[in-house]
Amino acid sequence: MKRPTVRVWLTVWNTGALAVALIGFGFAVRYTVRVNLYRSIDRDLGQFARHMAEETAMFQLHPELRPQGPPPKEPKPPERPPRRNGRRGGPPGALPPGIYYTNGKPMAPFSRATPWDTDAFAASLAGHEQFLTRQVGGAWCRIVSVPVWGRGRVIGVVQAARPLGDLRQLLHNLSRTLLMLIPLALVMAGLFGLILTSRALSPVRRLSHAAASLGTDDLSRRLPVVGGHEFAELAQTFNRLIGRLEEAFNKLEAANERLRRFTADASHELRTPLTAIKATTSLALSRNRTPEECIEALMVADSAADTMSRIVGDLLTLARSDVGALSLDLKPTAVADVLEQAVEDISVAYPNAQIRIECADPSLSVIGDFQALVRVVTNLLDNAVRHTPPDGEIAVSGRREGDVVRMVVADTGEGIPPEHLPHIGERFYRVDLARSRDHGGAGLGLSICKSLVEAHGGTVQIHSQVGQGTSVAVILPVCGPQAPPDGA
């Protein structure tokens, strides 16, 4: 079952709220009109009844004011009700008043034989004015009962009544009108509500359609931002979210690409020594070999195994660096000792390499792991030797610059093209694949250098020009007091 849309819900809620308001307004209007009408009737009836009570008391207390004629056996009020404002019989629509003695007998011939209401008559005998609504002869009437005072006591009661048929008909017509107008107003409000909510929510539909058209293959698109209302703010928020998603997808795609390249390069680098081992051992086992040939085959397999062991060790070092699990023995380490040990180690692999050591201050030291720093400098020297011609120069130096120590390996080799410099240090990245592989490089040396240096809180800087050489600087915090200001 399809759920109602937001547009329908908004229309229903607004129409419902309007219905409650209109119904409440209708009840308030009807109640106000009824109260005001009853108040007007009570005011006119009360004034008329009190006026009648005053005139009745006057005629009872001053018989000389009565019309001339034989004296009655008992005092009587005028035979006709007094005129009020030139009109006879009280307010418009009122019935003839009833004037009664305290025993309930009428004083005037125009009075009813019995009071309109006995309870109101009894209340007036007690000195109270009484207003009430009673059904008289099948018709509802508004009745007022007023006591007639004479010499400090109640000598009679005046009751006036007004039928409520016209008032009740007026209230009935008002109720019927409200019952007709309120549903009509609700229908019109619902239709206008649908139109208005449809127009108000049209930006949401546009945003929804635009968002539905977005895909992971094209996150560069943005939602339209129109106007300065809340939906424009919503679109801007979505655009910022899409921007963050695009950045995250780009990073993820780049990471996946690096992972694919890393996996392919690692597989290739490991396959090369494995192929050498497999080919050598298979060839050695294919026929009888002399001891010298067996020894030669074993040496080839051993060299390939060393290559595999070095690659696996490098990958393990990088993996530990990625998770922050490098085990470093950090302590004050002399820079001169690091440089000398690195040159000594590289001389074993390259006996003919001519490397110059420049370290002016033998006491210069850093906080670091001696073996890790030696490995960093050895890897840098290995790259320098492999890419520098025999008549070139290689120098390694260490000096203090303010609060840091710069260990620099510089050569006059072939240099690195500018387009490759941003990628130097990426895993398995090689400027010249064929030449690097021929020289035995796997493209992990600089990656390991950067990881180890960063684990020491340092950085690596590379400057190179094609045909002039390369300079790689390892920058580490100095061990000891800060350098004095220049000129001190």
Predicted confidence at residue 486, as pLDDT, reads: 43
The radius of gyration of the chain from alpha carbons, rounded to an integer in Å, stands at 57
Whether 109 contacts 98, CB under 8 Å: no
Q: How far apart are CA 132 and CA 140, in angstroms?
A: 10
Please determine, for residue 92, whether its predicted confidence score (pLDDT) is greater than 50: yes
- Looking at domain 6-173, its CATH superfamily turns out to be PAS domain (3.30.450.20)
Please determine, for residue 438, whether its predicted confidence score (pLDDT) is greater than 50: no
Residues 280-295 as b or e (16 or more Cβ within 10 Å = b): beeebeeeeeeeeeee
Residues 180-187, mean pLDDT to the nearest whole number: 89
Q: How far apart are CA 108 and CA 156, in angstroms?
A: 12
Q: Do 6-173 and 230-320 fold alike per CATH?
A: no
Q: What percent of the chain lies above the pLDDT cut of 70? A: 82
Please give the CATH topology (third level) of the domain spanning 230-320.
Answer: Helix Hairpins (1.10.287)
Q: How far apart are CA 86 and CA 90, in angstroms?
A: 10
Q: How far apart are the first and last CA of the chain?
A: 86
- Count CB atoms within 10 A of the CB of residue 265: 18
Whether 409 contacts 446, CB under 8 Å: no
Whether 75 contacts 60, CB under 8 Å: yes
Q: What are the pLDDT digits (tens) for 405-419?
A: 999 999 998 888 888
| Interior angle at CA 74, CA 72 and CA 79, nearest 5 | 65
| Those residues with Cβ within 8 angstroms of residue 238's Cβ, 6 or more apart along the chain or in another chain | 207, 211, 223
Using DSSP's 3-state secondary structure scheme, residue 324 falls into: coil
- One-character DSSP codes across 107-145: SSTTS-SS-S-HHHHHHHHTT--EEEEEEETTEEEEEEE
In terms of DSSP bridges, do strands 153-163 and 98-101 run parallel, antiparallel, or are they unpaired?
A: antiparallel
Place of tokens 């005092």: 75
Whether 100 contacts 106, CB under 8 Å: yes
Q: How far apart are CA 147 and CA 377, in angstroms?
A: 124
Please determine, for residue 350, whether its predicted confidence score (pLDDT) is greater than 50: yes
- Count CB atoms within 10 A of the CB of residue 66: 16
Q: What are the pLDDT digits (tens) for 291-338?
A: 887 888 888 888 778 777 777 776 777 677 666 667 788 899 999 999
Q: What are the pLDDT digits (tens) for 118-169?
A: 999 999 999 999 999 988 888 899 999 999 998 889 999 999 999 998 888 9
Cα 353 to its chain centre, rounded Å, is 65
Q: What percent of the chain lies above the pLDDT cut of 90? A: 25
Predicted confidence at residue 75, as pLDDT, reads: 45
Residues 41-67, mean pLDDT to the nearest whole number: 81
Cα 395 to its chain centre, rounded Å, is 59
Q: How far apart are CA 98 and CA 84, in angstroms?
A: 16
Predicted confidence at residue 424, as pLDDT, reads: 75
Predicted confidence at residue 84, as pLDDT, reads: 43
Nearest to 37 by CA among 182, 172, 177: 172
Q: What is the domain partition of the chain in residue ranges?
A: 6-173, 230-320, 328-477
- One-character DSSP codes across 157-170: EEEEEEE-HHHHHH
Q: Helical H runs in 142-229?
A: 165-200, 202-212
Q: How far apart are CA 471 and CA 362, in angstroms?
A: 22
Predicted confidence at residue 406, as pLDDT, reads: 92
Average pLDDT, the chain: 80
Q: How far apart are CA 338 and CA 405, in angstroms?
A: 13
Residue of 125 and 242 predicted with greater confidence = 125
CATH architecture of 328-477: 2-Layer Sandwich (3.30)
Please determine, for residue 429, whether its predicted confidence score (pLDDT) is greater than 70: no
Mean pLDDT lowest among 213-222, 356-365, 406-415, 443-452: 213-222
Predicted confidence at residue 145, as pLDDT, reads: 94
Q: How far apart are CA 408 and CA 421, in angstroms?
A: 17
Residues 11-16, mean pLDDT to the nearest whole number: 83
Residue type, 447: S
Q: What is the pTM of this model?
A: 0.46
Q: How far apart are CA 379 and CA 451, in angstroms?
A: 13
